[in-house]
Amino acid sequence: MTNDASNLAICARGLVRRFGDLTAVAGIDLDVRRGMIFAVLGPNGAGKTTLLRMLATLTAADDGTATVMGHDIAAAPQKVRASIAMTGQFASLDEDLTGRDNLMMLARLWGFRGRAARIRADELLAAFELSGAARKQVKDYSGGMRRRLDIAASLVVTPGVLFLDEPTTGLDPSARKGVWHLIRQLAESGVTILLTTQYLEEADQLAERIAVIDHGRKIAEGTSRELKAATGSGVLHVSLADQSQLEAAAELLAARLGSAVQRSPEGAELSVPAGNAADANAAIAALIAAGVSVADFRLGAPSLDEVFFALTGQPATSETPQNPEEAAAS
Ligand X SMILES: Nc1ncnc2c1ncn2[C@@H]1O[C@H](COP(=O)(O)OP(=O)(O)O)[C@@H](O)[C@H]1O
By CB under 6 A, name the binding residues for ligand X.
19, 22, 24, 42, 44-50, 322, 324
Tell me the C-alpha distance between 303 and 201, whole Å: 8
Nearer to ligand X, 7 or 317 (CB): 317
C-beta nearest to Mg ion: residue: 49
Nearer to Mg ion, 150 or 269 (CB): 150
Selection from ligand X, Mg ion, none that 24 binds (CB < 5 to 8 A by kind) is ligand X
In the complex, least distance from residue 313 CB atom to ligand X, rounded to whole angstroms: 21
List, in order, residues 6 or more apart from 278 with CB less than 8 Å away. none
Nearer to ligand X, 266 or 325 (CB): 325
In the complex, least distance from residue 149 CB atom to ligand X, rounded to whole angstroms: 22
Selection from Mg ion, ligand X, none that 297 binds (CB < 5 to 8 A by kind) is none
In the complex, least distance from residue 43 CB atom to Mg ion, rounded to whole angstroms: 10
Selection from Mg ion, ligand X, none that 205 binds (CB < 5 to 8 A by kind) is none
What is the residue type of 7?
N
Helix, coil or strand: residue 234: strand
SS (H, E, C) 47-100: CHHHHHHHHCCCCCCCEEEEEECCEECCCCHHHHHHCEEEECCCCCCCCCCEHH
Tell me the C-alpha distance between 264 and 241, whole Å: 14
Nearer to ligand X, 41 or 105 (CB): 41
Nearer to ligand X, 154 or 196 (CB): 196
Nearer to ligand X, 158 or 320 (CB): 320
Tell me the C-alpha distance between 23 and 63, whole Å: 11
State the Rg of the chain over Cα: 23
Selection from Mg ion, ligand X, none that 67 binds (CB < 5 to 8 A by kind) is none
Selection from Mg ion, ligand X, none that 317 binds (CB < 5 to 8 A by kind) is none
* Of the candidates 270, 269, 229, 274, the residue with the CA atom closest to the CA atom of residue 256: 274
In the complex, least distance from residue 30 CB atom to Mg ion, rounded to whole angstroms: 16
Nearer to ligand X, 47 or 159 (CB): 47
- Taking phi over 0 as left and psi of -120 to 50 as alpha, with beta for the rest, 315 belongs to beta
Selection from ligand X, Mg ion, none that 44 binds (CB < 5 to 8 A by kind) is ligand X
* Of the candidates 65, 55, 6, 8, the residue with the CA atom closest to the CA atom of residue 36: 8
Nearer to ligand X, 48 or 176 (CB): 48
In the complex, least distance from residue 304 CB atom to Mg ion, rounded to whole angstroms: 15
Q: What share of the chain is helix, strand, coil (3-state, %, to 5)?
A: 40, 25, 35
In the complex, least distance from residue 101 CB atom to ligand X, rounded to whole angstroms: 31
**C-alpha distance from residue 280 to each of 221, 239, 254 (Å):** 27, 14, 11
In the complex, least distance from residue 219 CB atom to Mg ion, rounded to whole angstroms: 17
* Contact indicator for 270, 248 with CB cutoff of 8 Å: no
Selection from ligand X, Mg ion, none that 262 binds (CB < 5 to 8 A by kind) is none
Q: What is the DSSP letter of 8?
A: E
In the complex, least distance from residue 65 CB atom to Mg ion, rounded to whole angstroms: 23
Residues that bind Mg ion (CB under 5 A): 48-49
Selection from ligand X, Mg ion, none that 271 binds (CB < 5 to 8 A by kind) is none
297: number of Cβ within 10 Å = 17
